[in-house]
Amino acid sequence: MTDSAQPILPGATIGFLGGGQLGRMTAFAARSMGYDIQVLDPEAACATRPVASRTITAKFDDVDAAVALASECDVVTLEIEQIHPDVLDAVAARTALRPGRAPVYIIQDRIRQKQWLKAQGFPLGNFVAAQQASDIADAVREFGPCIAKSTHGGYDGRGQVRLSTTEQGIDAWTALGARECLVEQKVDIHYELSVLVARTAAGAVAVYPPSRNHHTSGVLTWAVVPAVISDDMVARAQTLARNVAERIGIVGLLAVECFVTTSGELLVNELAPRPHNTYHHSERGFATSQFEQLVRAICGLPLGATDVHAPSAIANLLGDVWLQDTPPDFTHALNVTGSRVHLYGKHGAKAGRKMGHLSAVGHDAQDALGRVLESYRRLSPGTIASFDVHEPVLAHITS
């Protein structure tokens, strides 16, 4: 309906499309600020339920359910981009939808997102949209090793197939459901960064310092700030992310995932129009957490400061932690000075499922990362050994 810049003040109700851990942590922040919370999620026992006054159990293509949510909320946001466009339209017709339909629509399809970024002139690795198995094989012939990705619904490295020979094209095509997919050249990554940007409907923007991130088999293992990279790269990454956020017209948060290649190029990997796993350390190390910042941005309040108060790091806790022979040792883990445990209240640990994270603050980035990984080692030595989590010497990465 309206996209007025009029502030939505504490006491109002915020609706969430999606009730996973991102919704839950944003809801905690919103509650602290005096907002009421309602949530729509396909799972009745979703992670946000304990923080919400009302939980609507419905799929993300259920227009009637979305209308029921919108009719009681002053503003609706989302924590997952796979929301049916009809639902986005129905919500936007009744209340403020932030972010709006346009950026979500662009981002929710990997091919559409890449093509948009390319059309805007943002730096990307090579990619093609494959319409048939032979297109995947052709991409490998042209680019060498590639990663084929499903257009919708992939996360944490799911819906992706890595391939290095043309013969693997058919298997990749079949594994991704024999439908249109994105094929990217495998980038020679020196390191990975993300930059989080907040923007209000009135156009105020706050850019966080880049986070340095490490993935194992396509899943985020740890993230740390400051990134311990050159001032020049910090400035380049922040400018890039700000430009993308302004161009796409985000209202709320936009996370820009980036690769820095071995030849020093800065490339966009992908975008997320919501809070991001790589900024969970913002609850510990920043003047304003990403969750509070999202609330401020969608409610048209002044954006909070994005300075790093304390170097901070997180390590993800996947379901694997609970599937070891020995249960997680929280007491031992929390004996690491500066560490904290965050659990999402999810039922049913499965291998690879995000169940929580550990965080730590330290004297510098290396110290914070060392502490969080030490806490992890104490919590679940078996998991950390099987994931082969390495601890880099951050100070050596200056390009």
Among 189, 205, 308, 389, binds ligand ATP (CB under 6 A): 189
Tell me which stretch binds ligand ATP (CB under 6 A): 73-81, 147-155, 325-333, 358-366.
147-155
The interface with ligand ATP within residues 204-243 (CB under 6 A) comprises 215, 218, 220
| Interface mask toward ligand ATP for 238-277; x: CB under 6 A | -------------------x-----------xx-------
Sign (positive or negative) of CA dihedral 286, 198, 358, 388? negative
Nearer to Mg ion, 79 or 257 (CB): 257
In contact, 104 and 273? CB cutoff 8 Å = yes
In contact, 229 and 398? CB cutoff 8 Å = yes
Among 31, 94, 186, 342, binds ligand ATP (CB under 6 A): 186
Q: Side chain identity at 392, as an amino acid letter?
A: P
The interface with Mg ion within residues 238-267 (CB under 5 A) comprises 257
Integer Cα distance of 158 and 357 in angstroms: 20
Query: In the numeric block, which tokens belong to residue 17?
Result: 């499309």
Q: CA angle, 377 as apex, 284 and 211 as ends, to 5°? A: 35
Q: Side chain identity at 181, as an amino acid letter?
A: C
In contact, 228 and 366? CB cutoff 8 Å = yes
# of chain residues touching ligand ATP (CB under 6 A): 18
Strand partners, 10: 12
Nearer to Mg ion, 257 or 374 (CB): 257
Q: Which of Mg ion, ligand ATP, none binds 189 (CB below 5-8 Å, type-dependent)?
A: ligand ATP
Residue ranges in 52-166 assigned as alpha helix (H): 63-70, 85-92, 101-107, 110-119, 133-143
Nearer to ligand ATP, 104 or 361 (CB): 104
CB of 239 to ligand ATP, least distance (A): 21
Integer Cα distance of 90 and 83 in angstroms: 11
CB of 136 to Mg ion, least distance (A): 20
163 touches ligand ATP (CB under 6 A): no
81 touches ligand ATP (CB under 6 A): no
Q: Which of ligand ATP, Mg ion, none binds 155 (CB below 5-8 Å, type-dependent)?
A: ligand ATP
Positions touching Mg ion (CB under 5 A) are: 257
